[in-house]
Amino acid sequence: MLDINAFSNQYEVRLIKDTDVRQIYMFCRQNVLYYQYCPPFATEDSIRKDMAALPPKKTADDKYYVGYFDRHGLAAILDLILEYPNKDTAFIGFFMTDASIQNKGIGSTIITDLCAYLSGIGISYIRLGWVKGNPQAEHFWHKNGFEETGITCETDGYTVIVAQRAL
């Protein structure tokens, strides 16, 4: 069981609840570029599905779908899966910052703090994927120390580049 309060030094982090779905939808719909590369566009239903979605052989206990809040509201959303695809690795299924506060280093600070916390509890790697060709996602994850593993996943209409950072 992770201590989600320790994910961030600056934000209050808490699990997203069903009553937050409307707010999450309003948040996601500002990030138009993301859905151009990773369609379809978000709906309240697709958000509910993402909140429950699990990789093979994982259970709800392994999943942390959290929001980062401050006095201005929701700053970021993170979907983290523990011990996937192996015991030493945590998997980021989704990460998004508020479109109105992007390019100010906030996403990088959140990921830096998360890496420090996960490293401190003995996790060795963080793995994630971005849609091939999405310049924003690729630049951001490279900037934060993630490197391509050479693995790609083909889905309907786009290719996912799998990347990893050693902690």
Ligand X SMILES: CC(C)(COP(=O)(O)OP(=O)(O)OC[C@H]1O[C@@H](n2cnc3c(N)ncnc32)[C@H](O)[C@@H]1OP(=O)(O)O)[C@@H](O)C(=O)NCCC(=O)NCCS
Residue numbers at the binding site for ligand X (CB under 6 A): 31, 34, 94-97, 102-108, 130, 135-137, 139-140, 143
Task: Give the three-class secondary structure for 36.
Answer: helix
How far is the C-alpha of 142 from the C-alpha of 137, rounded, in Å?
8
Shortest separation between residue 76's beta carbon and ligand X, angstroms: 7
How many residues make up the chain in this entry? 167
Beta carbon nearer to ligand X, 76 or 167: 76
Task: Tell me the residue number closest to ligand X, measured at CB.
Answer: 107
Beta carbon nearer to ligand X, 74 or 122: 74
Name the pairing type of β-strands 89-97 and 125-131.
parallel
Determine phi and psi for 24, rounding to 5 degrees. -65, -40
How far is the C-alpha of 87 from the C-alpha of 123, rounded, in Å?
8
How far is the C-alpha of 127 from the C-alpha of 150, rounded, in Å?
12
Shortest separation between residue 136's beta carbon and ligand X, angstroms: 4
> How far is C-alpha 50 from the chain's CA centre?
11
Beta carbon nearer to ligand X, 1 or 74: 74
Shortest separation between residue 91's beta carbon and ligand X, angstroms: 11
Beta carbon nearer to ligand X, 17 or 143: 143
Shortest separation between residue 142's beta carbon and ligand X, angstroms: 9
* The residue type at 107: G
Shortest separation between residue 77's beta carbon and ligand X, angstroms: 8
Beta carbon nearer to ligand X, 22 or 139: 139
